[in-house]
Amino acid sequence: MTIQFVEGQFVDSYDPTIENTFTKMITVNGQEYHLQLVDTAGQDEYSIFPQTYSIDINGYILVYSVTSNKRVPIMLVGNKKDLHMERVISCEEGKALADSWNAAFMESSAKENQTAVEVFKRIILEAEKMDGGAPQGRTPCSMM
């Protein structure tokens, strides 16, 4: 999905050997953002964590500081929605999970270029809501 968003193409045989970092400028509601994206390609062994800590991962823990009330938006994205015959998680199940996390939810297909740009715009809008609106000028924005 990241390559579709950044480069406008679907790479059918993407073979990540390490995590990739991308940058892209995007305008949302007239505000320009400079995105820094870290793509782990959905491979636990290529995640942002050292390989010795990520082999056979069965879960992730999100940690926050109890001394700060700054919130970070979470977005759950169901990818590969074009693979209808292979679907094992319904859209309703994904939405219910996102709701239980108080997270935004979308489904996408990087292959068919369905909503790749909208996914990134949506997380920016979610961040703006939590920060009280769009900042002025060019804004850096980091996504993982």
Residues 6+ away with beta carbon under 8 Å from 89: 78
Tens of pLDDT, residue by residue over 53-95, are 455 555 665 667 788 777 778 889 998 999 999 999 999 999 9
Query: Residue 105: which of 81, 77, 71 has the closest Cα?
Result: 77
pLDDT at position 27: 84
pLDDT at 139 exceeding the cut of 70 = no
Q: Which single residue is written with the structure tokens 């009280």?
A: 132
pTM: 0.61
Tens of pLDDT, residue by residue over 18-52, are 567 788 888 888 888 888 776 765 554 444 555 55
Residues facing 76 on adjacent strands: 105
Q: How far is CA 79 from CA 89, 112, 131, 135, in A?
A: 11, 11, 27, 30
Q: Which domains, from first to last, does the chain contain?
A: 2-143 (3.40.50.300)
SS3 74: coil
Which of the pair, 91 or 116, is modelled with greater confidence?
A: 91
pLDDT at position 7: 78
Report yes or no: 11 and 87 within 8 Å, Cβ to Cβ: no
